[in-house]
Amino acid sequence: MTTPHPDLSVAVITASVRDGRLGPAVADWFTARALTHPGLSVRTVDLRETPLPLTLPEPGQEPPAEVAGVRDRLRDVLADADAFVVVTPEYNHSFPASLKNVLDWFLSEWAAKPVGFVSYGGLAGGLRAVEQLRPVFAELHAVTVRESVSFHTAWERLDAEGRVLGDKAADAAATALLDQLTWWGRALRTARREHPYGT
């Protein structure tokens, strides 16, 4: 008899913190699809709402109390997640500094977990940002899944209320990403429980 899998916890991270950003609309579109995917529970993380300073404390030192509070709340969310989906734009052929900063603040929270990408931008659809993120996550001992979702000329895909207009291709890409993320998430969660991962 097969034991049902408990829900896999997925954190959907909105990377951009700019004024006028499209990130929340893209994240909402993807989150709606993730919530219908079997066996997943989804939590959203907006980096604009969890600001961390660019200056990291020295090893062994604690940041100021107000910074420590933000760090600890974000650390708890990341640590509890079994998998991540990063929603990122492409800035100057790369990903936002706000995202790199959060990646640098944490280590073990990312380790031995899968990461998927939803990108948006101009003609390249944010894909150059995604390709630069893959080696960064590898250094953090995370596993990036092959499938991704990209929105090219994303500003043209908004309705009158500012919501992203998807299509069959985008829906299919989201399903493929979520299928891979779920497989890797379950496999790596089992592995972490049986053999705790050391970074």
- How does pLDDT run across 49-103, given as a tens digit for each residue? 999 999 999 888 999 999 999 999 999 999 999 999 999 999 999 999 999 999 9
| Residue at 29 is within a domain | yes
- How does pLDDT run across 118-175, given as a tens digit for each residue? 999 999 999 999 999 999 999 999 999 999 999 999 889 888 888 998 789 999 999 9
| Residue at 103 is within a domain | yes
Q: What is the CATH number for 51?
A: 3.40.50.360
Contact 78, 71 (CB under 8 A): no
Residue count (the chain): 199
Buried b (16+ CB within 10 A) or exposed e, 63-102: beeebeebbeebeebbeebbbbbbbbbbbeeebbebbbbb
| Residue at 2 is within a domain | no
| Residue at 77 is within a domain | yes
Q: How far apart are the first and last CA of the chain?
A: 35
Q: Which domain holds residue 129?
A: 8-56+65-194
CB contact set of 49 (below 8 Å; sequence gap of 6+): none
Structure tokens given for 157: 């895909």
Q: How many domains does the chain contain in total?
A: 1
pLDDT for position 48: 97
Contact 160, 170 (CB under 8 A): no
| Residue at 139 is within a domain | yes
pLDDT for position 5: 58
Quick one: DSSP state of residue 165? Answer: -
The helix or strand, by DSSP H or E, that contains position 100, with its residue range, turns out to be helix 97-105
